[in-house]
Amino acid sequence: MVRIFAAAVVCGLLLAGWALNTAGVGIDVVARLATVTVVFTLFIYALVILAALKLRGHDEDDDTFLASTPLLILGIVGNVVLLGYVVYDDPFSLLWVAALLALGLALFVIEHFFGKRDRPTGRGPGEPTTTKEA
């Protein structure tokens, strides 16, 4: 089921691109989908760097590798600048971004109202279920 859904979403993106081109809205599907990928990826990377900075001082010992803080801040700036430019350069990519986010939200809504509970008891959503937390 999950593979059918995933394949269907990707095929949906491809068909949307084809439909737009057929309708005369000339888009470069490779470039547009690459831009969409990069928008999501830059956002994720910026948050990961923020997470690393936020977790400074936690769970550290003498062996812990610590990246250079100025470099990490430069990394956040770099990711945000790129993200800003990509959106400025191709604002229509945000439509595709919004559509994919809406799909994720729709799945959540469906599960929230109609789904059964699979998550182990005692743990909230998004929390790892491993028993070997560092």
Partner 1 sequence: MADSTTDLDSEVGPYGDSDLKRSITGRLLFFYVLGDVLGSGIYVLIGLVAGAVGGAFWIAFAVGVTVATITGLAYAELVTKYPQAAGAALYVNKAFRNRPLTFLITVCMLSASFAAAGSLATGFGSYFAEVWALPPALLVTLAFIIVLAIVNFVGITESVVANMLMTFVEIAGLLIVMIIGVVYVAQGNADFGTLVDFSTGGESPIFAIIAGVALAFFAMTGFENAANVAEETINPAKTFPRALVGGMIAAGVIYVLVAMTAALTVPTKTLADSDAALLEVIKAGILPVPVGIMTILFAVIAMVAITNTTLVAVVTQSRILYGMAKEDVVPGVFGKIHAARRSPWFGSSPRPWCVGCCWQDGR
Q: Which of residues 25-44 bind partner 1 (CB under 8 A)?
A: 28-31, 33-38, 40-44
How far is it, in rounded angstroms, from Cα 38 to Cα 87? 10
The minimum distance between CB 30 and partner 1, in angstroms, equals: 5
Which residue in 128, 20, 13, 36 sits closest to 86, CA to CA? 36
Q: Is 23 in the site for partner 1 (CB under 8 A)?
A: no
Long-range Cβ pairs for the range 95-99 (8 Å, 24+): 96/13, 96/16, 96/32, 96/33, 96/36, 97/36, 97/39, 97/40
Among 23, 24, 65, 121, binds partner 1 (CB under 8 A): 65
The minimum distance between CB 131 and partner 1, in angstroms, equals: 5
Q: Residue 121 carries which DSSP code?
A: T
Among 23, 71, 92, 122, binds partner 1 (CB under 8 A): 71
Among 64, 91, 121, 122, binds partner 1 (CB under 8 A): 64
How far is it, in rounded angstroms, from Cα 68 to Cα 22? 50
Among 23, 24, 57, 117, binds partner 1 (CB under 8 A): 117
Q: Is 24 in the site for partner 1 (CB under 8 A)?
A: no
